[in-house]
């Protein structure tokens, strides 16, 4: 079953974020606390939204998708950026990932969003293959740019 996350899911979502970070070989970077996630997802001005996949038999969380709105100056419309899609290893192959993505795609269309975008690590062949099977377009000519830490502070100091 796919449903909107509730505040009661924050502990499970945080645990899955850490599991995803471990899989992506970056667990030390997953520093979000439950309090931060609760504020980001359920505070007065949500920064992001989440869906969860529950195991039909046990009711346990099998996966989650966390997204936030984006905006395109070219189309003049909002879009959806999928930050995380994760299905626990024991639940993979059960259709949870596809169901989460289908629910997000429907939400995009219902909301008038024209784009549904996400990133995938180039070495994550199972995910790349899965996304290709859905018809996802890979934008190889675009590169992700990121400033953090000292470079971010140095640039900000120049203002």
Catalytic residues: 131
Backbone φ, ψ for residue 130 (5° rounding) = -60, -45
What's the distance, Cα to Cα, between the start and end of the chain in Å? 49
- The helix (H) or strand (E) run that includes residue 36 is helix 34-42
Q: What is the CA radius of gyration of the chain?
A: 17
Contact criterion met (CB below 8 Å) for 20 and 27: no
CA gap 61, 101 in Å, rounded: 16
């Amino acid at each position: 079953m796919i449903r909107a996350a509730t505040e009661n899911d924050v502990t499970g979502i945080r645990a899955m974020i850490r599991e995803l970070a471990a899989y992506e070989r970056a667990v030390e970077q997953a520093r979000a606390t439950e309090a931060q996630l609760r504020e980001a997802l359920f505070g007065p001005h949500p920064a992001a939204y989440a869906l969860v996949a529950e195991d039909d038999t046990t009711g346990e969380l099998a996966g989650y998708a966390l997204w936030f709105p984006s905006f395109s100056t070219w189309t003049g419309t909002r879009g959806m950026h999928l930050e995380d899609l994760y299905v626990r290893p024991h639940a993979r192959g059960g259709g949870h990932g596809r169901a989460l993505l289908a629910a997000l795609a429907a939400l995009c269309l219902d909301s008038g969003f024209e784009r549904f975008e996400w990133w995938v690590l180039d070495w994550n062949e199972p995910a790349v293959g899965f996304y290709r099977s859905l018809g996802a377009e890979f934008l190889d000519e675009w590169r992700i740019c990121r400033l953090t830490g000292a470079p971010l502070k140095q640039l900000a100091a120049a203002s």
